[in-house]
Structure 1
Amino acid sequence: MGDLVGGRFRLDAELAEGGMSRVFEAVDLKYDRPAAVKVLARWLANDDEFRQRFERESYAAERVTHPHVLPVWDYGEQEGLLYLATPLCDNDLGHLLGERKQLEPEHALSIISQIAWALDWAHGRGVIHRDVKPENVLLVGGPRGDHAYLADFGLAKAGTDNTLTQAGHPAGLTPAYAAPEQWRGDVVGPAADQYALAATLYTCLAGHPPFHPRRGPSLREAHLHEAPPDVSGVVGGMSDGLAATITRGLAKEPAHRFATCRELVAAAETSLRRRPTETAVDRGRPEETEALDATGTISSPAESDVSPTAPEPALAPAAPSRRRGRVLVAAGGVVAAALAALVAVLVLGSGSGSGGGGGGGGGAQPAAGKVVQLPVGRAPIDLAAGRGGVFVANSGADTLTRIAPQRALIKQGAIAAVKTPFGVAVGDGRVWAVGPNGDLVALDPGTGRRLASKALNIQSDGIAAGYGAVWIFNGTGGTVTRVDVSSGQPRIGPIVRVGNGPTDIAVGFGAVWVTNTGSATLVRLDPRSGKVTKIIQLRGGISGLAVGERAVWVSNPRQGSVIRVDPATGALKRFRVGRPAQEADVAAGDGAVFYVNHDDGTATRLDPGTGRSKGSPVRVTGSPSSAVIAEHTLWVSDIDRATVAGLRF
């Protein structure tokens, strides 16, 4: 195949070889970063059905942004071989267990919980992994512990149907972790992945799979008929509750297992008398903690510069609000009932980016052109700006973080929202957060008090707010749902078909705007009726969407450009920003437009009038997930580092 794959990946060393593929350590010469390149076996490339499914699923995976699904950077064919390029990880769980034999329960659950979230996300989209095992859990070390990725999504499914080999093994899968229904050749669902996840957790604790050592028919009979061994009988000091949780996950009948993978993890965490994992920053240091009174209002005797306000008046109807669709569909959730009792205050020194103790005095705002990094909740996936500050949806912590950049202080607070909040918007005097199954909550932007909530029971891939309504799009179904909130209580309205693959939504200039990646179009909706009033054809590769500075702005990362759309006429102007990328965001406001490159974490400022770049790209963070502008600062969330970067201009 040669030492250069896809014209950009230099193969340096072979890491592993199996029956279906070889994996190489590589360097992505395009972006000067380490990579892993998987080269599939030639017999797979010669299978026309596999080739078609590989290309289709790789194309889809390349566009997925989920914190615990291994990203796909590139894929293709070279010299008759199929290849797939991803980030290079530090380790995999199988190798880690080979080194340590067993993991402490807390360490094991911290990894398994991340994979459970990824699986529930996939199951919400009708995708079954089918080959969950330690070797498909990749790990990257970090200050908060191991960050886990689920790898080979779709490859196991693409490589086989529900058939058995002549040896009686489920074809293409791993016998030690295959569910009974896979051994029987039945049609499998999410419960099969949960079975494999429970078996993986068992392996982490016991040092070997539940039915081990077994081979061939003996292993098949064990999975089909034998009661799973009690892990507490293998591992001393194991709680009965944890053992019972794993046993339920390994139930022979899918209906007897948990409803979701995250429910399995929650039961396991409860048995260890631990709350579900929350990032350290959300708990804060004692001297930085504010209290809540009985009404849910934040109070702090040390704070004088920034204080809660009364409920704010409704925003002007045309105030821009946006939500970048990340297509994060995970387990369903319910609206949390209380405000989290925690707010941390950071005082930023001039241009230093260093944090200090909270107090009434406060230091200077960070100098223009300097980047500061603020820790927030786990997996910050979305941002929204409006009156009350910048709001961060922490999809891995079930909270929102409020950042209030006022005078010398940047104030942060964790607010309980919905299960897996991946969409947040500010509009009509309220902050709105939505979960994957349409669990919607309205919060007071000043106090965080819950004002309204409703379970909409719709797939929700993005949110915007304005004109007396909340707008939620379904990336799979290609629809937008108008939720009337003018009366204070959400009422679901018409569902409108908007095209193929909507990925972003925003309001402004008397309209609702939706980008469609599949058809490369920008759709304009009437805010009162929700009906489509205009379809503007763009060229392929569009990504982010922003409204502001007298225009609608769309990023085109494949061309390294930004498109300016006149909201009245639909006239287009294209501005070249920099090198192409897989994904990019755009933000507009306060006299500036920024193009945020997700591949290299840089932000490039544009003049809204001329479209010319103002200065060189500035590296703001490592793994951008969303971007907004507020208080002459570009705010960019980093989904992997659990931070929000602020670049003042």
Structure 2
Amino acid sequence: QFLYFIGACRSRNMSNDVRVGHGRFKLSRRIGGGSFGEIYKAVDTQTKEMVAVKLEPASAKVPQLVYEARVLQFLQRKCVTVGVPDLRWYGSEGDFNIMVIELLGPSLEKLFTYCDKRFNAKTVCMLAIQMLSRLEFLHERGFIHRDIKPDNFVMGLGKRAHHVYIIDFGLAKRYRDPKSGTHIPFREGKRLTGTARYVSTHTHLGVEQSRRDDLESLAYVLLYFSAGSLPWMGKGGVKGDKQEKYDRISEQKMALSPETLCKLQPRPIYEFLLYCKSLEFAQQPDYDMCRGYFHAFMEEEYHTCDFRFNWITHRETAGTRSVASMSSVGVNSSRQVTIDASDGGALSEL
């Protein structure tokens, strides 16, 4: 049944009653996928809520789904989480590993594209404040993410449409021992983990990642949102030569100072990147101070944190328009949606 489901049911609408999670989740249609597997929209037959179901072949060379589910389970243990997907179920059935989470909105990458690849300073600051809080929570729980990029931050839906969520914990790693609290040791000669465009300079140099690297990656994401691109984009080498691509990106990234990178960009991005560059391997970041850079700038510019992000104002200016390739849980899809400003920017299906 699962093999038929994956092989033949890639169309928008499901013609068969396919269920997972011991029959609890009824799948409706595919909303995305990639090298890791497939993602489907489904209904929780117990609560009648819509959810997202991630499927990964059990035979995957590097299975990540069960690990990701366990990370989510740990993050939600004994605490109320904001901006982390609610895990509903995980396990294995047939030939697949399965994880079910709450249905979320489009990724920041999709929203950035919708806004013609440019966010204004107010939107960048409002996003930065929330994204820093998500990383602070993750780090407080003893994990680093190791793949900070616009695709791995998504917006909520409905009453949580103004909440930024951090997703995809398949590459997350403990940076301290859960019992002793001891920080992992400094190591060199590590392979690049993450997305080359956004990884820190230390990661390019083969240094073990720690909290500082998540923050530096976030600084590059914010710079990308503000400037519309990064200087090392399009610096790939010979097609198929991944290492040459990494080397070229690394060379450009290290050759440019924070002052040069952030020239003509809002001051807090420069302040934040400069701070990230100053952090030692095991140093505890000052998240409050980092958020303060962005809060102070907003106050100086007489901006309020009203969650009127660029995609809200863009929709109001342009009128209701279809947004191609935006989807739930930050994955690729051909589904068309509209931005509903009256619901805080939530998605409405056409």
TM-score, normalized by length of structure 1?
0.37
Which structure features the higher share of strand residues?
1
Match of 2:280 among 246, 255, 277: 255
The Cα shift of 1:20 comes to 2.1
AA of the residue aligned to 1:195: E
Residue 137 of structure 1 deviates from its aligned partner by 0.7
Match in the other structure for 2:129: 113
Contact 2:86 2:101 in 1 (8 A): yes
User: How far apart are residue 120 of structure 1 and its match?
Assistant: 0.8
Aligned pair count reads: 266
Q: 1:33 to 1:145 in 2, by over 3 A?
A: closer
Q: CA separation in 2, counterparts of 1:258 and 1:230?
A: 25
Q: CA deviation at 1:40?
A: 2.6
Counterparts of 2:97 and 2:173 in 1: how far apart (Å)?
A: 13
Contact 1:177 1:209 in 2 (8 A): no
Query: Aligned-pair distance for 1:145?
Result: 6.4
The residue that corresponds to 2:218 in the other structure is 197
Q: Which residue of 2 aligns with 1:483?
A: none
Structure 1 position 109, deviation (Å):
1.9
Partner of 1:60: 74
* C-alpha distance in structure 2 between counterparts of 1:104 and 1:18, whole Å: 31
Code of the residue aligned with 1:230 in structure 2: it is L
User: Among residues 131, 135, 138, which one is paired with 2:151 in the alignment?
Assistant: 135
User: 1 or 2, which has the higher helix percentage?
Assistant: 2
Alignment of 1:495-506 (within 5 A): none
**2:248 paired residue number:** 218
Which AA in structure 1 matches 2:74?
A
- Residue 66 of structure 2 contacts residue 90 of structure 2 at CA under 8 Å; is this kept in 1? no
Residues 83 and 164, structure 2, Cα contact 8 Å, conserved in 1? yes
CA distance in 1, matches of 2:160, 2:40: 28
Does structure 1 retain, via aligned residues, the 8 Å contact 2:88–2:101?
Answer: yes
Offset at residue 47 of structure 1 (A): 5.0
- 2:31 alignment partner in structure 1: 15
Instruction: Give 3-state SS (helix, strand or coil) of 1:73's partner.
Output: strand
1:298 matched residue in structure 2: none
Question: AA paired with 1:197?
Answer: L
Tell me: CA distance 1:258–1:95, structure 2 relative to 1, closer, same or farther (3 Å): farther
Q: Secondary structure at the match of 2:164?
A: strand
Counterpart residue number, 2:111: 96
SS across alignment from 1:265: helix
Instruction: Give the counterpart letter for 1:221 in structure 2.
Output: E
Paired position in structure 2 for 1:176: 197
For residues 12 and 41 of structure 1, what CA distance do their matches in structure 2 show?
A: 19
Distance in 1 (CA, whole Å) between partners of 2:31 and 2:275 is 33
Match of 2:54 in 1: 38
In structure 2, give the amino acid aligned to 1:187. Answer: E
CA positional deviation for 1:258: 9.1
Contact 1:37 1:85 in 2 (8 A): yes
Change (3 A) 1:278 1:103: closer
> Displacement, 1:183?
2.0
Q: What are structure 1's unaligned runs of at least 5 residues?
A: 281-640, 642-649
Note if contact 1:139-1:148 (Cα within 8 Å) is conserved in structure 2: yes
Which residue is 2:291 aligned to?
265
Higher Rg of the two aligned structures: 1
Q: Distance in 1 between matches of 2:46 and 2:206?
A: 44
Amino acid at match of 2:253: H
Q: Tell me, what secondary structure is at the counterpart of 1:187?
A: coil
Please show how residues 583-598 of structure 1 align to structure 2 within 5 Å: none
Other structure's SS at 1:22 match: strand
CA distance in 1, matches of 2:293, 2:27: 43
Distance between the aligned counterparts of 2:204 and 2:162, measured in 1?
A: 32
Asked if residue 230 in structure 1 is aligned to residue 261 in structure 2, the reply is yes
Q: Is the 8 A contact 2:144 2:173 kept in 1?
A: no
1:24 corresponds to 2:40: yes
Distance 1:244 1:123 in 2: 23
Q: CA RMSD in A?
A: 3.4
Check 1:8–1:120 CA distance in 2 against 1; reply closer, same or farther (3 A cut).
same
Q: Structure 1: how far apart are the matches of 2:161 and 2:67?
A: 35
Change (3 A) 1:143 1:75: closer
- The answer as to whether partners of 2:216 and 2:273 remain within 8 angstroms in 1 is no
Q: RCO (CA 8 Å, sep 6+): is it higher in 1 or 2?
A: 2
Shift of 1:112: 2.2
CA–CA distance in 1 between the matches of 2:198 and 2:229?
11
